Amino acid sequence: MRKFYTLLSREVRSYFYSPIAYVVLLFFLFISGADFYFQLSYMNGKPVPYSVEEAFFNSVFFWFAFVLIFPLITMRLFAEEFKLGTIEPLMTAPVRDWQVVLAKFFGALVFYLILWLPTLIYFWVFQSVTHQPAAGSRGAYFGAYLMLLLLGMFYLSIGCLASALTKNQIVAAVISFCVITLHFFSGLISFMMSEVSSSTRQLLGYFSAIEQMGTLSRGEIDTRPMVLYVTMTIVMLTLTYHAFQSRKWRL
Amino acid sequence: MIKVENLTKRYAGQAAIQDLNFEVGKGEIMGFLGPNGAGKSTTMRILSSFMPPTSGRASIAGFDIFEQSLQARAHLGYMPENVPLYNDMRVTEYLNYRAALKGVPSRRVAERVGDVKELCGLKEVERKIIGALSKGYRQRVGLADALVHEPDLLILDEPTSGLDPNQIRQVRDLIKNLGKQHTILLSTHILPEVEMTCSRVIIINRGRIEACDTPENLLGQIRTAGGVVVEAKIGNDDGAEELKKIAGVRDVTASTDGDWQVFALRVEANTDVREEVYRLASERHWTLRELSQRRATLEDVFVEITHPDQV
């Protein structure tokens, strides 16, 4: 456990050694701030059937920033170690492969959660300035942030896998970006294609991150996405573990 | 401490090392010699559990490197070739991290890291970012990392490559000192280093062990054990012909240096022909300016074993 913690703390700190962390933080703060601002200006003085919190988590701005950050966070995880050769001192120390894989995943997850911290302030500021609730209920906050965590875990695990497959960070970023975008857009198919049957539409709806976010950010805590994303994360991390081990046979 | 049996590694069908068998006993400093691509790094990477062998077995401190890899790794300090390090960490921070990773108890981390910084001369750069260090300091950080958990065995892959002569001397002295407490396996292609530091030498070529012995014995084995240099004024005599008649002389190359004739004699192993040369010179009234024996070096051994055609 101590070794895992040692690895994890290095992973988290390593984000802040590199300029990537600050660029991502700034980019994300800018987009999410703009998102919040534009949603508020749009809603101002108009009766709308949704809350500020729902608007914030379901806008184009939000999703645009959302799919972009994962490749940036995960591309260097394994690829950089392969490229620099630091994988050699790392794996000749008495640590297990799964400890390294999990430490990298959870390191990325911690950084990802740090990215979201400032957004809590938005809602707090809104509430204290307008004396209006930003969300329909407390459960809506919980649902939205739960969805962020679940989808974040899944997308980060895809990024881990992509990074473990190559020693080129750009290649890793492109792979994870493609897979994440593909998954994300598969949820849009039901909107784009009018001729698909209602059962197909329903089926795709189960996998649609957009629909799930819609549900959860209203405060309806649905367990199906929980099961889906936790399972998928475990699958992806298992694949990452095997991809990481395959280096021994590819060398 | 190290036991290697029939170790083989193939890359895409090509054998990088073939049927290696050797043992390194406790307290030995074993030198691993060979030209580039001979399989030195491959062997070391296998021993450090970084990659698995295609076939064969190896153990470190009694632990099989494949089945008890974690225990084997805990007994091992490994410094890879070119010393890959996290460039964005500071020296002390990196060593603290490595110490914790290698299972040094928390309360001893500061003490151990302090010790290895002292030992490897890293005190003056302890707060620097590793990426900003010179090659020599990086090498020392790598060595400090290999030592931080007090391993029984050190495996050092080219610890002196890329260093200047002063740094090489410092690292060599350091290794010699470490040899008092640790078993060391080091690879290099700087031969004087091996002669000076190692108690035994393995010469590996094209994936096979060509020789394994003490440096002294290896020197004794080779066909051309050094030679003798003679500089003399010899008048009208055919010096080369006369010198060749001496028993033990294999062949003579002659050149001139002004009025002086310079002969380089190659002699058979374990023979000293200088007395005979002197006798010949005094009989013929040659004026001798130099009569000296050049000792064979490991370089001769190395060249003879790895390129037999050039001898």
pLDDT at B98: 96
Q: Which residue has the higher pLDDT, A19 or B218?
A: A19
How high is the pLDDT of residue B311?
44
pLDDT of residue B308: 59
Crossing angle for the helix pair A19-43 and A60-74, nearest 10 degrees?
170
pLDDT value for A61: 81
For A139, counting Cβ atoms within 10 Å of its Cβ (0-12 exposed, 13-18 middle, 19+ buried), the class is middle
pLDDT at B264: 85
d(CA B291, CA B250): 17
Q: Do A93 and B98 touch (CB under 8 A)?
A: yes
pLDDT at position A219 over 70: yes
B145: which residues sit within 8 A by CB, 6+ positions away? Answer: A89, B77, B79, B85, B94, B95, B98, B116
- Return the HEC string of B284-305: CCCEEEEEEEECCCHHHHHHHH
Mean pLDDT along residues B14-38: 87
DSSP secondary structure code for residue B103 in this structure: T
Which phi and psi (to 5°) does residue B66 adopt? -100, -45
Domain locations in chain A as residue ranges: 2-250
Q: Compute and round to an integer the Cα radius of gyration of chain A.
A: 19
d(CA B103, CA A10): 15
- For B95, which DSSP code? H
The β-bridge partners of B195 are: none
Go through the domains of chain B in sequence order and give each one's CATH number. Answer: 2-220 (3.40.50.300), 223-295 (3.30.70)
Cα B294 from Cα B21, distance rounded (Å): 34
Average pLDDT over residues A93-117: 94
Q: At residue B128, does pLDDT exceed 70?
A: yes
The pLDDT-based confidence of A175 (bands split at 50, 70, 90) is: very high
CA count, 13 A, side-chain hemisphere, A208: 19
Q: Nearest Cα to A176, choosing from A163, A166, A188?
A: A163
Please, how many CA atoms are within 13 Å of residue A234, restricted to the half-sphere of its CB? Answer: 5
The distance of B50 to chain A (nearest Cα, Å) reads 6
Give the mean model confidence (pLDDT) for residues B147-158.
92
Question: Which has the higher per-residue pLDDT, B309 or A171?
Answer: A171
Does A248 sit within 8 Å of B89, measured CB to CB? no
> Which among A6, A18, A86 has the least Cβ separation from residue B100?
A6
Interface contact B308, partner A, CB < 8 A = no
Indicate the burial class of A40 (C-beta count within 10 angstroms; 0-12, 13-18, 19 or more).
middle
Pairing of strands B55-60, B183-188: unpaired
pLDDT tens for each residue of B278-296: 888 888 888 888 888 877 6
pLDDT score, position A86:
94
Measured between CA atoms, how close is A157 to chain B, in angstroms? 23
B84/A84 touch (CB, cutoff 8 Å), yes or no = yes
Query: For residue B42, what are the CA distances in angstroms to A91, A204, B32, B204?
Result: 15, 50, 12, 12
Contact B25/A at CB under 8 A: no
Given a cut of 90, is residue B211 above it in pLDDT?
no
For tokens 């401190």, what's the residue? B61
Model confidence at A193, pLDDT cuts 50, 70, 90, reads: low
Whether the Cβ atoms of residue B226 and residue B267 lie closer than 8 Å to each other: yes
Closest C-alpha to A72, from A151, A170, A164: A170
Cβ proximity of A135 and A219 under 8 Å: yes
Angle between the N-to-C axes of helices A169-186 and A138-164, in degrees from 0 to 180, rounded to the nearest 10? 140
- Retrieve residue A126's tokens: 């809104």
Question: What SS3 class is residue A35?
Answer: helix
Residue B82: closest CA among A80, A86, A77, A95? A86
Q: Which of B51, B66, B85, B138 to mutate: most A Cβ within 10 Å?
A: B51
Contacting residues of A for B51, CB less than 8 Å apart = 248, 251
**Confidence class for position A243, pLDDT limits 50, 70, 90:** very high
| B70/A96 CB distance under 8 A | yes
The minimum CA-CA distance between B302 and chain A, rounded to whole Å, is: 29
pLDDT in tens, A113-140: 999 988 888 888 888 888 877 777 788 8
In the structure encoding, which two tokens stand for residue B164, read together? Answer: 């200047």
Pick the residue from chain B with its C-alpha nearest to A247: B51
3-state secondary structure of B232: strand
- Return the pLDDT at B86: 94
Question: Would you call A94 and B73 a contact, using CB atoms and an 8 Å cutoff?
Answer: yes
Q: Do A92 and B103 touch (CB under 8 A)?
A: no
Res. A10 pLDDT band, cuts 50 70 90: very high
CB contact under 8 A, B88 and A93: no
Which residues of A fall within a CB distance of 8 Å from B50?
88, 91-92, 248
- pLDDT one-digit tens code per residue, B171-194: 888 888 888 888 999 988 777 778
Contact B300, B226 (CB under 8 A): yes
On chain A, the residues whose CB falls within 8 A of the CB of B88 are: 14, 17-18
* CB burial of residue A56 (10 Å; 0-12, 13-18, 19+): buried
Calculate what percentage of chain A has a pLDDT beyond 70. 96
Nearest CB neighbour to B102, from listed A85, A94, A248: A94
Q: Mean pLDDT across the stretch B77-82?
A: 92
Tokens of B75: 């007994």
> Across the interface, do B100 and A3 touch by the CB < 8 Å criterion?
yes
State the pLDDT at residue B225: 56
Residue A249, min C-alpha distance to chain B (Å): 8
Q: Answer whether B73's CB lies under 8 Å from B26's CB.
A: no
Residue B84 and residue A96: Cβ atoms within 8 Å?
no
CB burial string A157-191: b at 16+ within 10 A, e below: bbbbbbbbbbbbbeebbebbbebbeebbeebeebe
Q: What is the pTM of this model?
A: 0.85
**Phi, psi angles (nearest 5°) of residue B29:** -110, 110
pLDDT of residue B226: 66
Maximum mean pLDDT: which of A34-48, B87-101, B182-196: B87-101
* pLDDT mean across residues, chain B: 86
What average pLDDT does this structure show over B106-115? 94
Report, as an integer, the average pLDDT of B106-122: 92
CA distances from A86 to A90, B16, B226, B299, B308 (A): 6, 23, 43, 33, 38
Sign of CA dihedral A97, A98, A100, A105: positive
Q: Could you read off the pLDDT of A200-216 as tens digits, one per residue?
A: 777 777 778 888 888 88
Predicted confidence at residue B223, as pLDDT, reads 54
